[in-house]
Structure 1
Amino acid sequence: MFNPYAWLSHRVNRRWIYPLISAIMAIALVVSSSYPSSAFSVRRLIGPGLEVLQLSTMSDAQEVALGQQINQQILSRQFRRYGNTQINNYVTEVGDRLVAQSDRPNLPYTFQVVEDDSINAFATMGGFVYVTTGLLQAMDNEAQLAGVMSHEIGHIVSKHSIRQMREVIIARGLAGAAGVDSNIAVQLGVELALRLPRSRQHEYEADRGALAILLNTGYSPLGLVQFFEKLLDKPSPPTFLSTHPASSDRIAALEQMIPAAQANQGMGLDGAAYRERIRPLL
């Protein structure tokens, strides 16, 4: 059987082997960093899970690539996209307006409406934001929709999914010597997006980020507060709040953060205009 390593040892002086290997690995690392997609991955050369172990320094391109895989799993196994073009375009229109005033405006956000009667919204890394048809039907006006979407954008801006994934990986001991398999990372991303509640700190951070986005965009900052208050009156809190800690405390904190001069100002409070935009759902 042909042994390429034995052949190499005869053909190349030993003192050149290790420098040669180092040079090859250095070139591979440089090449991989220049590619924005997953077309070339150093993980194929030095073992799976390297990107997961480096979540704290993940590039935007790597975050989007992992988010795309998580999104595929969510849409193929958990939810179905709502097919009405008018509704999808409207949600994307509101989302794009908000993203432009966020701290990560260059991320390629994807806003999706999914068919579900529950009142819910969620997001995952890479700019993927989801709102349910039940949430849209429960809204009174566009300012409330903008408030909820800004909150989810706030999670993405602060990279909460990445931070939470890293914490869960450490807590569950999922990282081995070679790292974490990419399939495990994707499944964990789905779990984080749909089932695991975020920490109290992350919720407050997303609320603060949402408020800043709303004020910068010109939406009424009371939209998010009003919607939270409306949902708290329900006998059984919807998924959007039941998985988030200390909802009443968060409402009080938001009210304190809203500048007095802007409390009763801003666009998006016209209920009739909102109902017209979501007419196919009514």
Structure 2
Amino acid sequence: MLEKFSIFSRRNRKRWLCAGVSLILTLCIGLTNIKASYAVSWVELLLRGVQVIQLSSISDKQEVALGKEINQQLINSGQARLYRGRAINNYVDSIGQRLAKTSQRPDLPYTFQVVNDKSINAFATMGGFVYINTGLMLAADNEAELASVIGHEIGHIVGRHAVEQMRQRAVSQGLLSAAGLDRSQAVQIGVELAVSRPNSRSDELEADRLGLENLKQAGYAPAGMIGFMQKLLQKGGSVPSFLSTHPATKERIQALQQQIDPATANAGDGLSESTYQQQISSL
């Protein structure tokens, strides 16, 4: 009886050993062949010691760290030439931090920076980095209008739009591996996205909605958001870059008008033109 049991055990051990080896080989083959369009396998990346980022499950900490690298590259490359005036930077930061506290991602360490550029522009990258051109500040009539632009850019960060755009760009360029995206490539894509700002119609409408809600929660007059967009469109000539990179501006204005009660549109802070001009006088 014991002899039969021993023979049975030996035979089953062999079967389990073969099954285990087969399973491991199957997993290795399967993982190294996930989505053949990916540039390299996760095994190769790990063997090369390349640091990768899994965009589908990126944490806030990882997003902020990546945003810092993108920000540094933007500055080092001269694509974001920062304005050095302390008073203007402090002013923009005070508005931004006020909005950040009432946003849907208040725990991010937001960084608001002024770019020394006469064009009417603003942009953001992942991890809480927001950039406002001096040209846009001069185009705004009051603080509520400036706050509306900052709120819109915070809306992109809240919606994690840059992370999704990075994933789409990496897939289209065949750079995404089974393990994720090479960190250095992620930084390069992040810089390209920050400059080109290829936001979709749905992203813009969501950033408008989130920005408007944030504007109201922070105590600013919601009329500032519509007022700024309408004024730029009515100026004539070429469309400012702040709007030209955003599709369907008229549609966006109509959507915002439906979200704002005319009776309370001017209720809130930031509508004084004289106070605003004093704040940006050093520009």
Question: What TM-score do the two structures reach when normalised by structure 1?
Answer: 0.81
Percent identity between the two aligned chains? 55
- What's the counterpart of residue 130 of structure 1? 131
Question: 2:208 & 2:230 partners in 1: Cα distance?
Answer: 14
Question: 1:127 & 1:70 partners in 2: Cα distance?
Answer: 11
CA contact (8 A) 1:49 1:178 kept: no
Question: 2:152 & 2:251 partners in 1: Cα distance?
Answer: 16
1:38-57 alignment runs, 5 A limit: 47-48=49-50, 50-51=52-53, 54-57=54-57
Displacement of 1:197 = 1.8
Question: 2:218 & 2:261 partners in 1: Cα distance?
Answer: 15
Question: 1:202 & 1:239 partners in 2: Cα distance?
Answer: 17
Displacement of 1:177 = 4.9
2:60 is the alignment partner of 1:60: yes
Question: 1:180 & 1:105 partners in 2: Cα distance?
Answer: 27
- What's the counterpart of residue 186 of structure 1? 187
Question: 1:83 & 1:202 partners in 2: Cα distance?
Answer: 31
- CA 1:49 to 1:247, structure 2 compared with 1: closer, same or farther past 3 Å? farther
1:87-126 alignment runs, 5 A limit: 87-126=88-127
Aligned pairs, number: 239
- CA 1:180 to 1:263, structure 2 compared with 1: closer, same or farther past 3 Å? same
SS in 1 for 2:103: coil
- What's the counterpart of residue 79 of structure 1? 80
Deviations 1:90-149, CA, capped at 9 Å, x for gaps: 000000000010011110000000110100000000000000111111110000000000
Question: 2:243 & 2:116 partners in 1: Cα distance?
Answer: 19
Question: 2:267 & 2:150 partners in 1: Cα distance?
Answer: 19
Question: 1:97 & 1:197 partners in 2: Cα distance?
Answer: 27
Question: 1:74 & 1:86 partners in 2: Cα distance?
Answer: 23
Displacement of 1:167 = 1.3
Deviations 1:245-269, CA, capped at 9 Å, x for gaps: 0011001100111134422211100
Structure 1: runs of 5 or more not aligned: 1-14, 16-42
CA contact (8 A) 1:101 1:216 kept: yes
- What's the counterpart of residue 202 of structure 1? 203
Deviations 1:167-222, CA, capped at 9 Å, x for gaps: 11112222135543222111110111111420000000000001110111110101
CA contact (8 A) 1:48 1:178 kept: no
Question: 1:223 & 1:44 partners in 2: Cα distance?
Answer: 51
Give the counterpart of 2:246 among 244, 247, 259. 244
Paired amino acid for 1:74? L
Question: 1:210 & 1:168 partners in 2: Cα distance?
Answer: 25
Question: 2:76 & 2:49 partners in 1: Cα distance?
Answer: 28
CA contact (8 A) 1:49 1:179 kept: no
Paired amino acid for 1:75? I
- CA 1:100 to 1:178, structure 2 compared with 1: closer, same or farther past 3 Å? closer
SS in 2 for 1:104: coil
- What's the counterpart of residue 279 of structure 2? 277
- CA 1:56 to 1:178, structure 2 compared with 1: closer, same or farther past 3 Å? closer
Structure with bigger gyration radius: 2
Structure 2: runs of 5 or more not aligned: 1-16, 18-44
Question: 1:119 & 1:195 partners in 2: Cα distance?
Answer: 14
